[in-house]
Chains A and B, each alone.
Chain A
Amino acid sequence: MSDAALQSAAPRIDGVWTRLRRRKIALFGMALVVLIVGAALLAPWIAPYDPFEQHFDGLTLFGEPLPPGGDYLLGTDLLGRDLFSRLLYGARTSLFIGVVANGIALVIGTVIGLTAGFFQGWIGAVLMRFTDLMMAFPALLLAICLAAIFQPSLWIVAFVIAMVNWVQTARVIYTETLSLTARDFIAAQRTLGASTARILFKHILPHLMPMIIVWGTLGISTTVLLEATLSYLGVGVQPPTPSWGNIIFENQTYFQAAPWLVFFPGAAIVVLALAFNLVGDALRDVLDPTLRGSD
C-alpha cells in the first residue's frame, strides 16, 4: 500500500464541524437532539401542568383516562395526570439513562474489547473470560440486591445498565478487532515500525467506529426500556417520578383502551434513538478516511 494510502487511513479531525454542518441530515439530527435536551432542561417552564398532579377532571367517572385533545394536549394517564408534562419531565430520566449510562457502557466495552482483540495472548484471555463471567452473571439479581440494600435510584439503574451493556459491546468489538488485526495492512504497519498506539488509533479504531455508533445509538432505546423493567422490579426510579420507559411499562396492558399512553412515550424513545443515530452516522461519515474528497 502506498504511503499516501496509508496516510489516508487517518481520521480527519480537522474541519469536522464544517463538514458536519454541510450535511443536511446531520443538521436535522442535531436539531432533534437539541429539541430533546431542551425539552428536558426547560421542562419546568414549558410543561403546562405539574407532572405529579392527579387532576379530578383528568379521569372519567369510571376512572378512565382522557384521550388527547381538550385541556390535556396528549391526554391523561390512569391517575388523571397530564401526559405531555410527564413526558417532558421524563425526558430527563431517559436522557440520563440513554446517553450517560449507555455512553459509559460503550466506552468501557470498547476499551476492553479492543484491548483483548488487539493484544490477545493472556491479556486477551483474561479480559474475555472476565467478560464471559459478567455476561453469564445475573445482572437482574444484582440490581435487586443493590436496590434492597441501598434505596432504589436512578444511579443503581445506570450502574446495572452499564454493566449489562458494556459486556455486549465488548464481545462485538473483540470479534471485529480480531478480524481487523489479522489483516494485511496492519501487518504492514507493524513492519513499517508504527507504534502500537498509532496502529490502534489511526487504523483500527476508525474501522470500529461504525460498529460503535450502531451499538451505541441502538442501545439508547433498549436501555430506556430496560430502565422500565428494572422499575417494575422495584429497582428504578420510584413512582411518581416519570420516565419514558416506566410510563410505557405501567400502561402497556391498557394499550387497547388508552393507546396514547403507549404510543407517545414509545414515539419519544424512537425519536431519541433516531436523533442520536443521525448525528452519529453523520459523524462517522465525516470521520471516514476512505471518503476523502467526497464532499
Chain B
Amino acid sequence: MKKLLTSTALIAALAAPAFAQESLDPNATPGGGIVVTYKDDVATLDPAIGYDWQNWSMIKSLFDGLMDYVPGTTELRPGLAESYMVSEDGLTFTFSLRSGVTFHNGREMTAADVKYSLDRVTNPETQSPGAGFFAAIAGFDAISDGSASTLEGVTVIDPSTVQIQLSRPDATFLHVMALNFASVVPEEAVAAANGDFGKLPVGTGAFKLDEWTIGQRLVFAKNSDYWRDGLPYLDSVTFEVGQEPIVALLRLQNGEVDVPGDGIPPAKFLEVMGDPEQAARVVEGGQLQTGYITLNVTIPPMDNVEVRKAINMAINKDRITQIINGRAVPATQPLPPSMPGYTEGYAGYAFDPEAAKQMLADAGLADGFETELYVMNTDPNPRIAQAIQQDLAAIGVRASILSLAQANVIEAGGAGTAPMIWSGGMAWIADFPDPSNFFGPILGCSGAEEGGWNWSKFCVEDIDAAATAADSMLDPSAPERLKMWSDVYMKVMDEAPWVPVFNEQRYTMKSARMGGDDSLYVDPVSIPVNYDYVYVTK
C-alpha cells in the first residue's frame, strides 16, 4: 500500500508541470516540403482502423491522443492532456485537457470528443483492430458484446476534464492512451465522411490531409493552428505510393525523393553503405523488433523442452546475420535491447551443434526427426529459412520449407498446425515501448487459443500469473516492475518455446537537405520518420 502511494504521488507530481513546453530545435528552418515514397498504397488514415507500419506515423501526424512520446525516444509525455491525476488504487485517471486545441475543421476540441473517440474505437461496428487494447476500461465488455453503446468507464466531468475508470489495474494504460487508436476525432467529420473517414481524416495533428489521389500520392499540409507552437517545421509532406524500393532509391540519388519509406532495399544495401557520401546520410537505429523461430510445443517431439533447447543451440545466428549483410544484431531473448525490461548480460543458448546433437540423442532422437518450417515468401525470408534449414540439418533435424503468402502462414500459425515458423516479415514489433506488449498475444495463454498469434501455443499458468502481477503495478517504468518482466522472459527462455534469432536494425536514408536530430529518423514510435519535428535546410 505504501509503495503504491509513493509511486502514485510521484506520477501525479510528474504530471503537473507539463505545459506544451517545446524544446524547439534552434537550427530548424521552417518551410519547404519533402517527398516520401512507399510501395504499398496507403490503406486508411482512420486512427481507429490503421494498423500498418506504413500508416502508423502518418496517422500520428494527423491526429493526437491524450498522451504522447518525447520525439525520438520511448519516454511518455502529455499530449492533448495537459496533466493528469491517478487515484490511489490506480483505477481512476483524471485528465485535464489543454484549452484552445482545434480540429482541422476549426472546431475546438472538448472532453466530449475524447469520450466519443474512445466509444468509437471500442464499438464493434467500427471493426477496430485495436479495440482490445482498451479492455481494462470499465464497461469494455458491455460495449464489445453490444449490450451498451458507450463506455461506462469514460466520463465527461466538464468540457476540459475527462475521467477514465479502469476495471483492473493496468500499468500499460498510459501507453495505450498514446496509441493511435486512442486519437481524438470529431464526431461530425466522421458522420460527414459517411463510412469513409479513412480517406477523409480530420484530427488535431500537426498536419492535415490536403490531397489524396488514390494509387498515386497523398499530400499533408501544415496545420498552422497546431497547438504545439512552432511546429511543424515543414510546410508539406508528399507521400508517393506505388514506388518500387529500388526505383525510389534511384530517385533519391537523383534528388527527387527525400526519404524512401520502405528503407534501403537489401539488394542495394552494401552499395549504399560502401559509398561514404551516401552512407553519411543513412541513420541507423534499433527497432522494437525481434525475429524469432516459433516452436510449436503441442507437436512432438517439440513438446520436449530438451529438444527445443537443442534446436536453440543449433542455429548459427552470426551466419544468418551475415546473410542479411549485417543489418541485424543476433538476439538472445524475446525482448529487443532497446526495450525496458531487457535482461542485460543474458547469454542465452550459445551456438553449439555438437552439444545440440548430444541433447537430441539423450532425448532418444539420435537419428533426428522430420518437421516443417513455415516462412513468408518475401525476400529475404525464404533465404533465412534455408539457412535455418541447413543449421537444423546439421543436427539431424530434417525440416522441409513451406514458403507461402503471409495470410497462409498466419493461418497455419493460428491454427496450430505449423511446427516451426520463421517470423520474418511478420515479426513482432512493439505497439508501444513496454515489455508487456511482447508477452500477451505472442507468449501468453490468451494468445495460444485458436487463431491467436502465439504460434508456439506456449501456455504456462505460472508465467502468465507473473506477467499479470507485473502489469498490475502502477508505474510502468518502476524498476521492480521491469525486474518482474525480466524474470518472466527469463522463465520463458528456460522453456525455450522460441529461438530468438536477431533484432533487425533500421536504416533510414535521407536526402542531403533534410535536417533534424538523427533520433527523429529512427524514431522508435513514429516509423520511419517523425514528420512533426524534421525540417529541410535551405
Which A residues lie at the B interface, using CB under 8 A?
52-54, 56, 59, 61-64, 78-79, 144, 147-148, 151-152, 231-234, 238-240, 250, 253-254, 256-257
List the B side residues contacting A53 at CB < 8 Å: 390
B279 at the interface (CB under 8 A from A): no
In the complex, the answer to whether B403 meets A238 with C-beta atoms within 8 Å is: yes
List the B side residues contacting A79 at CB < 8 Å: 323, 383, 386-387
Given known contacts A152-B404, A238-B401, A240-B401, A250 and B266 CB-to-CB distance under 8 angstroms: no
Can you list 11 residue pairs at the A/B interface with Cβ under 8 Å? A62-B270, A63-B322, A63-B324, A64-B325, A152-B403, A231-B403, A238-B403, A240-B401, A253-B266, A253-B379, A257-B271
Since A144-B405, A239-B401 are in contact, a sample of 12 more A-B pairs with Cβ atoms closer than 8 Å, ordered by chain A residue number, is A52-B390, A53-B390, A54-B390, A56-B319, A62-B325, A79-B323, A79-B383, A79-B386, A233-B377, A239-B386, A253-B267, A256-B271
Given known contacts A59-B323, A63-B322, A234-B408, A239 and B403 CB-to-CB distance under 8 angstroms: yes
Instruction: In the A-B complex, list the 10 residue pairs whose CB atoms are closest, starting with the nearest.
Output: A234-B404, A253-B267, A63-B322, A254-B267, A63-B325, A234-B377, A239-B382, A240-B386, A234-B405, A63-B323
List the A side residues contacting B390 at CB < 8 Å: 52-54
Given known contacts A152-B402, A238-B400, A250 and B379 CB-to-CB distance under 8 angstroms: yes
Query: How far apart are B133's CB and chain A's nearest CB, in angstroms?
Result: 31
Query: How far apart are B267's CB and chain A's nearest CB, in angstroms?
Result: 4
Cβ contacts B305-329/A at 8 Å (1 or 0 each): 0000000000000010011111000
List the B side residues contacting A232 at CB < 8 Å: 377
B490 at the interface (CB under 8 A from A): no
Give the interface SS of chain B, mostly helix, strand, loop or mixed. helix
Query: How far apart are B380's CB and chain A's nearest CB, in angstroms?
Result: 8
- Give complex CA distance A63, B322 in Å: 5
- Most A C-beta atoms less than 10 A away, residue of B265, B267, B380, B402: B267
Query: How far apart are B318's CB and chain A's nearest CB, in angstroms?
Result: 11
List the A side residues contacting B379 at CB < 8 Å: 250, 253
In the complex, the answer to whether B405 meets A240 with C-beta atoms within 8 Å is: no
B246 at the interface (CB under 8 A from A): yes
Taking CB as reference atom, which chain B residue is nearest A240? B386
List the A side residues contacting B405 at CB < 8 Å: 144, 233-234
B389 at the interface (CB under 8 A from A): yes
- Give complex CA distance A53, B394 in Å: 11
- Give complex CA distance A62, B319 in Å: 10
Which B residues lie at the A interface, using CB under 8 A?
246, 265-268, 270-271, 319, 322-326, 377, 379-380, 382-383, 385-387, 389-390, 400-405, 408
List the B side residues contacting A63 at CB < 8 Å: 322-326
- Give complex CA distance A61, B408 in Å: 35
In the complex, the answer to whether A59 meets B322 with C-beta atoms within 8 Å is: yes
- Most B C-beta atoms less than 10 A away, residue of A78, A232, A234: A234
In the complex, the answer to whether A253 meets B323 with C-beta atoms within 8 Å is: no
Query: How far apart are B266's CB and chain A's nearest CB, in angstroms?
Result: 7
Query: How far apart are B375's CB and chain A's nearest CB, in angstroms?
Result: 8
List the B side residues contacting A240 at CB < 8 Å: 386, 389, 401
- Most A C-beta atoms less than 10 A away, residue of B319, B325, B385, B404: B404
Query: How far apart are A106's CB and chain B's nearest CB, in angstroms?
Result: 30
Taking CB as reference atom, which chain A residue is nearest B270? A62
- Give complex CA distance A78, B266 in Å: 11
- Give complex CA distance A231, B382 in Å: 11
In the complex, the answer to whether A250 meets B270 with C-beta atoms within 8 Å is: no
User: In the complex, which of the residues A62, A78, A151 contacts B402, with contact meaning CB atoms closer than 8 Å?
Assistant: A151
- Give complex CA distance A283, B292 in Å: 56
In the complex, the answer to whether B403 meets A234 with C-beta atoms within 8 Å is: yes
- Give complex CA distance A53, B267 in Å: 22
Give the interface SS of chain A, mostly helix, strand, loop or mixed. loop
- Give complex CA distance A147, B326 in Å: 34
- Give complex CA distance A144, B408 in Å: 10
- Give complex CA distance A50, B400 in Å: 17
Given known contacts A62-B322, A63-B322, A234-B377, A239 and B246 CB-to-CB distance under 8 angstroms: no
Taking CB as reference atom, which chain B residue is nearest A151? B402
User: In the complex, which of the residues B265, B325, B383, B401 contacts A253, with contact meaning CB atoms closer than 8 Å?
Assistant: B265
In the complex, the answer to whether B323 meets A78 with C-beta atoms within 8 Å is: yes
Query: How far apart are A151's CB and chain B's nearest CB, in angstroms?
Result: 7
Query: How far apart are B504's CB and chain A's nearest CB, in angstroms?
Result: 14
Query: How far apart are B34's CB and chain A's nearest CB, in angstroms?
Result: 26
- Give complex CA distance A179, B408 in Å: 48
Taking CB as reference atom, which chain B residue is nearest A249? B379
- Give complex CA distance A53, B401 in Å: 15
Query: How far apart are A169's CB and chain B's nearest CB, in angstroms?
Result: 29
List the A side residues contacting B386 at CB < 8 Å: 54, 79, 239-240
In the complex, the answer to whether B267 meets A256 with C-beta atoms within 8 Å is: yes
Query: How far apart are B194's CB and chain A's nearest CB, in angstroms?
Result: 31
List the A side residues contacting B404 at CB < 8 Å: 147-148, 152, 234
Query: How far apart are A98's CB and chain B's nearest CB, in angstroms?
Result: 22
Query: How far apart are A55's CB and chain B's nearest CB, in angstroms?
Result: 10
In the complex, the answer to whether A62 meets B326 with C-beta atoms within 8 Å is: yes
- Give complex CA distance A54, B312 in Å: 20
Taking CB as reference atom, which chain B residue is nearest A234? B404
List the B side residues contacting A234 at CB < 8 Å: 377, 402-405, 408
- Give complex CA distance A54, B379 in Å: 17
Taking CB as reference atom, which chain B residue is nearest A148? B408
Taking CB as reference atom, which chain A residue is nearest B323? A63
Query: How far apart are B316's CB and chain A's nearest CB, in angstroms?
Result: 10
In the complex, the answer to whether B385 meets A239 with C-beta atoms within 8 Å is: yes
In the complex, the answer to whether B402 meets A253 with C-beta atoms within 8 Å is: no
In the complex, the answer to whether A257 meets B270 with C-beta atoms within 8 Å is: yes
List the A side residues contacting B401 at CB < 8 Å: 238-240
- Give complex CA distance A119, B386 in Å: 54
User: In the complex, which of the residues A54, A152, A256 contacts B387, with contact meaning CB atoms closer than 8 Å?
Assistant: A54
List the A side residues contacting B322 at CB < 8 Å: 59, 61-63
Taking CB as reference atom, which chain A residue is nearest B402? A238
List the A side residues contacting B319 at CB < 8 Å: 56
List the B side residues contacting A231 at CB < 8 Å: 403
List the A side residues contacting B382 at CB < 8 Å: 239, 250
Taking CB as reference atom, which chain A residue is nearest B411? A148
List the A side residues contacting B324 at CB < 8 Å: 63
List the A side residues contacting B380 at CB < 8 Å: 78
- Give complex CA distance A177, B266 in Å: 51
Taking CB as reference atom, which chain A residue is nearest B380? A78
Taking CB as reference atom, which chain A residue is nearest B245? A253
- Give complex CA distance A233, B323 in Å: 23
List the B side residues contacting A78 at CB < 8 Å: 323, 380, 383
List the A side residues contacting B268 at CB < 8 Å: 256-257
Query: How far apart are A18's CB and chain B's nearest CB, in angstroms?
Result: 50
- Give complex CA distance A52, B399 in Å: 13
List the B side residues contacting A238 at CB < 8 Å: 400-403
Query: How far apart are A30's CB and chain B's nearest CB, in angstroms?
Result: 37
List the B side residues contacting A250 at CB < 8 Å: 379, 382-383
- Give complex CA distance A239, B375 in Å: 10
- Most A C-beta atoms less than 10 A away, residue of B266, B322, B400: B322
- Give complex CA distance A107, B341 in Å: 65
- Most B C-beta atoms less than 10 A away, residue of A56, A62, A232, A239: A239
Taking CB as reference atom, which chain A residue is nearest B327? A63
- Give complex CA distance A250, B246 in Å: 15
Taking CB as reference atom, which chain A residue is nearest B389? A240
List the B side residues contacting A257 at CB < 8 Å: 267-268, 270-271
